[in-house]
Amino acid sequence: MTNISWTDADRFDKKASEWDANALRAALADAVSRAIIAHLPVGQPQNSLEFGCGTGLVTIRVAEHCAQVTAADSSREMLNVLNEKIDAGAIRNIKPTFIDLSAPESVDELGESFDFVFSSMTLHHIPDTARFLRQLYAHMAPGATISIADLDQEDGFFHDDEAEKVHHGFDRNSLKEILETTGFINAAFMTAHIIEKKNREGRTGSYPVFLLTAVKPMS
Ligand X SMILES: C[S@@+](CC[C@H](N)C(=O)[O-])C[C@H]1O[C@@H](n2cnc3c(N)ncnc32)[C@H](O)[C@@H]1O
Q: Which residues bind ligand X (CB under 6 A)?
A: 7, 12, 25, 29, 52-54, 57-58, 73-75, 78, 99-102, 120-122, 125-126
Nearer to ligand X, 124 or 216 (CB): 124
Query: How is 98-142 classified by DSSP, letter by letter?
Result: E--TTSGGGHHHH---EEEEEEES-GGGSS-HHHHHHHHHHTEEE
Q: How far is the CB of 113 from ligand X (least distance, A)?
A: 20
Sheet holding 48-51, edge to edge: 94-98, 69-73, 48-51, 114-120, 140-151, 204-215, 185-198
Nearer to ligand X, 165 or 216 (CB): 165
Q: How far is the CB of 125 from ligand X (least distance, A)?
A: 4
DSSP run (H or E) holding 182 = helix 172-182
Q: How far is the CB of 219 from ligand X (least distance, A)?
A: 31
Nearer to ligand X, 163 or 219 (CB): 163
Q: How far is the CB of 78 from ligand X (least distance, A)?
A: 4
The DSSP symbol for 41 reads: P
